[in-house]
């Protein structure tokens, strides 16, 4: 068995049976990096745009960070924010860094600068562009606070070449009835659909109007039908989202995010894949390798498995897939047999602005 296979096996055993079986050495599969928290949109679903943020990671340190991510054996890198394309040195960082070992380089963007910067994106090592769009034209522009956002995002998508493209929609009350049409629009421009769910537990959402966005019972039915019938998501995932939006009691899965993802935010803080918990180090004072190997990182990751945390929905699809490992494996195998090629893959069930982030 390969190191990666053994690692995932121990993560599953440790999260489902005993913490003693968890991997002794943490090697995340993916890194999420925020080079900036600034954003030029005005979304009603988040607070980022209400503040002017000071970027703490300069160009040289950003280049070294990307190199350290590759050196750590991490193969998936996602740039999120804020809006990552607001960093004027973004493409310089990608050009200067050694990205050869990274299998996927994803940018989560609001799409407002895609048209302007499409040539730079097309010439970059970026493999995937995920554009945050939350509904059809009028609904999306209302949610995102920018008139013309929807059309500008689609114009930018049409100019992309040689990139996987996804539209990331936050499932919400205002666009619940538009989801099937939005999927048609996405496919019409060569994009797939990914989804996020709203969160009420993240600090950067404390003043967001989540009540306006929160689905009512009828909306939840539409969302559940969309996930099941259009996106063909597994039943355990659909059930979780349905119960979550209906404010029903949930049996939360053991959180494995500390073992699968590492987050680095714009002030250099390193998080164990979790925004509500305290940082376990800072890349402006230490290397990423030292932080990943630290006792603080290991202890907090194990505590997350035990759910010793405030609770959130960040990356819950990964934890659900781990809990339902056999059903998840059967689901993925069935998709492959049917020739589906990541068309309905969910990057993360998170807060509306990240992705991934969370997404912008």
Quote the pLDDT of residue 353: 34
Stated as kind and residue range, the H or E segment containing 32 is strand 30-34
pLDDT attached to residue 34: 97
pLDDT digits (tens, 9 = 90+) for 83-136: 999 999 999 999 999 999 999 999 999 999 999 999 999 999 999 999 999 999
Inter-residue contact 129 to 107 (CB < 8 Å): yes
Look at residue 334 and tell me whether its pLDDT is greater than 50: yes
| pLDDT tens per residue across span 297-328 | 999 999 999 999 887 787 888 999 999 987 76
CB under 8 Å, gap of 24 or more: what pairs does 47-54 form? 47/204, 47/205, 47/206, 47/207, 47/208, 48/81, 48/82, 48/204, 48/353, 48/360, 49/145, 50/207, 53/82, 53/266
Of 70-84, 155-169, 223-237, 312-326, where does mean pLDDT reach its minimum? 312-326
Residue 181 in tokens? 């049409």
* Local structure of residue 122 (DSSP, 8 states): H
Cβ-based neighbour number of residue 343 at 10 Å: 17
pTM (two decimals):
0.90
Instruction: Note the Cα 108 to chain centre separation in Å.
Output: 8
Instruction: At 240, list the tokens.
Output: 């979780």
Distance CA 62, CA 55 (A): 11
Is 141's pLDDT higher than 70? yes
pLDDT of amino acid 205: 56
Residue 146 and residue 139: Cα distance in Å, rounded?
A: 11
pLDDT-derived band at 346, boundaries 50, 70, 90: very low
pLDDT tens-digit map of 237-295: 999 999 999 999 998 999 999 999 999 999 999 999 988 899 999 999 999 999 999 99
What DSSP character marks residue 227? Answer: I
pLDDT at 344: 34
How many Å apart are CA 96 and CA 199, to the nearest integer? 36
Asked if pLDDT for residue 33 goes beyond 50, the answer is yes
Structure tokens at 182: 């939005």
**pLDDT tens-place string over residues 55-77:** 999 999 999 999 999 999 999 99
Q: Is the pLDDT of residue 188 over 50?
A: yes
Apex 300 CA angle, 298 and 301, nearest 5: 65
pLDDT value of position 299: 96
Q: What helix, strand, coil percent values describe the chain, rounded to 5?
A: 45, 10, 45
In angstroms, rounded to a whole number, what is the distance separating the alpha carbons of residues 317 and 323? Answer: 10
For the cut 80, the answer to whether the pLDDT of residue 168 exceeds it is yes
Beta strands in 155-258 (DSSP E): 164-171, 192-197
Task: Name the phi and psi angles at 194, rounded to 5.
Answer: -120, 165
Burial class (CB in 10 A: 0-12, 13-18, 19+), 242: middle
Cα 193 to Cα 31, 63, 121, 241, 269, distances in angstroms: 22, 31, 20, 16, 31
Q: Are 129 and 114 in contact (CB under 8 A)?
A: yes
DSSP alpha helix (H) spans, 17-73: 59-71
* Interhelix angle 316-323/235-245, nearest 10 degrees: 130
264 forms bridges with which residues in the sheet?
33, 270
Average pLDDT, the chain: 89
Q: How confident is the model at residue 360 (pLDDT cuts 50, 70, 90)?
A: very low
């Amino acid at each position: 068995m390969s190191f990666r296979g053994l690692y995932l096996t121990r993560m599953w055993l440790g999260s489902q049976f005993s913490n003693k079986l968890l991997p002794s050495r943490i090697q995340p599969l993916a890194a999420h990096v925020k080079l900036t928290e600034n954003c030029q949109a005005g979304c009603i679903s988040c607070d980022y745009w209400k503040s002017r943020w000071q970027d703490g990671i300069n160009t040289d340190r950003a280049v070294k960070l990307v190199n350290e991510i590759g050196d750590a054996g991490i193969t998936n890198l996602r740039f999120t924010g804020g809006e990552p394309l607001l960093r004027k040195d973004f493409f310089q960082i990608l050009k200067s860094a050694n990205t050869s070992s990274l299998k996927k380089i994803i940018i989560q963007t609001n799409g407002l600068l895609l048209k302007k910067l499409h040539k730079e994106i097309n010439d970059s090592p970026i493999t995937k562009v995920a554009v945050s769009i939350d509904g059809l034209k009028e609904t999306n522009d209302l949610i995102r606070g920018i008139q013309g956002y929807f059309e500008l995002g689609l114009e930018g998508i049409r100019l992309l070449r040689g990139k996987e493209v996804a539209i990331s929609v936050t499932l919400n009350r205002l666009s619940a009835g538009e989801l099937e049409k939005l999927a048609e629009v996405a496919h019409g421009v060569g994009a797939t659909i990914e989804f996020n769910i709203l969160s009420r537990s993240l600090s950067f959402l404390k003043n967001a109007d989540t009540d306006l966005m929160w689905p009512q019972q009828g909306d939840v039915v539409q969302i559940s039908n969309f996930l099941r019938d259009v996106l063909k998501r597994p039943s355990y995932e659909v059930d979780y989202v349905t119960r979550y939006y209906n404010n029903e009691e949930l049996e939360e899965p053991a959180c494995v995010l500390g073992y699968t993802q590492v987050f680095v935010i714009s002030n250099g803080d390193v998080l164990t894949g979790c925004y509500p918990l305290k940082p376990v180090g800072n890349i402006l004072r230490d290397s990423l390798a030292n932080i990943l190997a630290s006792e603080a990182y290991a202890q907090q990751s194990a505590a997350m498995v035990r759910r010793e945390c405030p609770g959130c929905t960040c990356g819950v699809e990964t934890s659900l897939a781990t809990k339902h490992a056999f059903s998840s494996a059967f689901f993925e195998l069935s998709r492959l047999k049917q020739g589906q090629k990541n068309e309905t893959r969910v990057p993360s069930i998170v807060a509306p602005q990240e992705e991934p982030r969370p997404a912008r």
